[in-house]
Amino acid sequence: MDKLIISGGLPLNGEIRISGAKNSALPILAATLLADAPVVISNVPHLHDVTTMIELLGSIGADIIIHELMSIEIDPRAVHNFFAPYELVKTMRASILVLGPLLTKYGKAKVSLPGGCNIGARPVDIHLAGMRQLGAEISIDGGYIYAESKGRLHGAEIVMDLVTVTGTENLIMAAVLADGRTVLKNAAREPEVTDLANFLNSLGAKITGAGTDTIVIDGVSSLGGGQYKVMPDRIEAGTYLTAAAMTRGRIKIKDVMPQTMDAILYHLRETGAMIKVGENWIELDMHGQRPHAVNVRTFPYPAFPTDMQAQFLAMNCVADGVGMITETIFENRFMHVQELQRLGANIKLQGNTAISEGVPMLTGAQVMATDLRASAGLVLAGLVSAGETTVDRIYHIDRGYECIEEKFSQLGAKIRREGRKIAG
């Protein structure tokens, strides 16, 4: 099993390019099933989750060609199987995103209940309730969701009990080919939802309001083919900027959308970082200074993202002062605290808040990744630890970060991978 070995204590310095957004690529790949012609998706990150989604699409009959630089051509016209098996779905919750497209286009789907990171309850009830309102008959048996529609789905007004990104995306896709108008209220506002809507509109869908909490979908009879470029990954971008801040370094990240990162940049400026922003780049310079501790509360977009919580907690561990990180999205997302404490972090948990008093430097040790973003936090902590840090079980990190050791090496970090590369 792969592990990363890090020799810490060096400031990051240099330039890197940010990859396409995993959380955008996955729903867009699933949405290609809705087309009646080939679709080419570019700027797709080379990640384990993306490989799983491609394998899933192939298993249901889509013809797939992977071009250079992870441009993927998908022809859904040969789809003949409407079954997403447990073996594929168990490793990635986003697999449930094929439910909406299969149901609305083919009238039936059998999808395993999803797996993925064990960071808390993410029930699919909201997905299923919304699809029932669109006219689907749905049952759950033996760990599988069985969905069927007699004829075309029909538009409906759906008020979601909770803000859910994947639920919003699944219902958008189900509604695109439904008869009539669908209105999603209390919809997720994340940029990745907007990216999905923009992609579908480029194929001929009629979606308005993406990026707000009310999304309107006027159903169309079919979608054509086309080409689309996945947006940059704002979480990857935030991870590298945070790494530069906590190592007292200076970096420039390119191919980003700064306007999607307002909350992250706001709190990075609170640490004392000097930040310059261009149309598609961000530069951060700590001028060799130790970051100030910050207080952060996670909340749905446009507030501070839960996917950056572990990275900011790692930064607070070496920051000047006491910082508080409050997690409001997932109840089980502080599993990395114990691992950070193994590195010498001074953290106390009080309910859903992690209170940390920064120390000048952590101390290298062997730690274990527990989920995707926790593993990123542990890698960042290793960069500011004296001696050698080994991060085990990094198959988690390969689900969300493309070539993480190569990119950190480009910035001057001493980091290497040992073992077989899972995502390759």
Residues belonging to the active site: 117
> Residue 4: which residues within 8 A CB-CB, separation 6 or more?
379, 382, 390, 391, 394, 397, 404, 405, 415, 416, 417, 418
Q: Are 364 and 343 in contact (CB under 8 A)?
A: yes
Write out the H or E segment, with its range, that includes residue 378: helix 372-383
**What stretches of 40-153 show up as alpha helix (H) in DSSP?**
48-59, 86-89, 99-106, 125-133
As given in the structure block, the two tokens for residue 319 are 């920051």
Nearest to 369 by CA among 296, 330, 314, 322: 314
Nearest to 259 by CA among 286, 239, 232: 232
158 CB burial (10 A radius; 0-12, 13-18, 19+): buried
Instruction: Say if residue 305 is preceded by a cis peptide, omega within 30 of 0.
Output: no
Dist. CA 188–CA 196, nearest whole Å: 12
CA-to-CA separations, 321 to 134, 315, 356, 381, 416, in angstroms, rounded: 52, 11, 8, 17, 31
Identity (one letter) of the amino acid at 80?
A: H
Dist. CA 73–CA 70, nearest whole Å: 10
As given in the structure block, the two tokens for residue 254 are 């390119």
CA-to-CA separations, 20 to 244, 256, 305, in angstroms, rounded: 20, 9, 18
